[in-house]
Structure 1
């Protein structure tokens, strides 16, 4: 009895491409060759992807969504604050990257270039959306456009921190990548300390009080 052909899908193409990159250390010579090697058509590939880099972009986006979905299922997720949620995401995300480290090293290398970082564009969009959803405490500037700019700056700085952590992890040779865990903890905690708006709010409230008292007594 003939073996039934395995249905091609987006996830299946990612799986096959990952295997090829790990075995050959480079992308296939062409979409045609890749499709023929895995017994599906070139047209089927283009139903899901426009190029090989877009397959790699989908891989990183998949790792993100898998990590984020997993941590949201935790019993204490809703009670955790933004800092704790971001720390949990980092640990889970890099744990999943570690399970695929060989692929990541072939895909973007130990020193990510502008070209390789383009493969992270889908990840960037998803990560910044998560940062927005975490509702990290910021100052109310009483101006819609300024508040929007502040939020965008927050999301962009969080993305830069993720890329910095990724580069550290790629260069980390410590057992179990324990130095990366320390880096994550210190980086996230420090960034939240720098973003702590409570002292500024207290200072602003005090300033408003002084102005009010002066106007009241004058």
Structure 2
């Protein structure tokens, strides 16, 4: 498949480290605590605007703190939090790249999974021009979500080195695939690999010679 192409079908399951498993009861406890804070006057979590996402029966709350977006999806009739997504900043990236890239992290209760909720939230971020970098590890559900979004948005692989993103073949070879520095990238509205390169936000792969130079440095 050409680099940064939109895939017409899911890629084979031999990808990044898909080993994150969070117990459902842990997620439920986390969501219950956040729901209380969402309705506690004076709590920072309660200082939210409402996002007009088309999710019937659900209210989507949004707040920004330290440059990170927090999205809380509330089941109003059920009086509970369905889940949340945080678009986190990446300390691994330099300041220029950090202005355009975020690492999404989500937790949704089992009863609200596979209902397109996280997809709608991620699409909101991509539509406003954010680009996403995957975490060092993913859950099965998160990986499936990225693959689905990759059928509508440019999806590629990059390596984080010296706080910069280095373009990789899609998909990388097995050795790079297992490295914690290898990540998937989703490009938001208005972005392409060519534009990232032109702005100095995406660089060539390091390669064997570059690796030797980095070690010497």
Smaller-chain TM-score bracket: under 0.3
Structure with the bigger percentage of strand: 2
The TM-score normalised by the length of structure 1 is: 0.26
Structure with the bigger percentage of helix: 1
The TM-score normalised by the length of structure 2 is: 0.26
User: Larger radius of gyration, structure 1 or 2?
Assistant: 1
Of structures 1 and 2, the one with the larger relative CO (CA 8 A, separation 6+) is 2
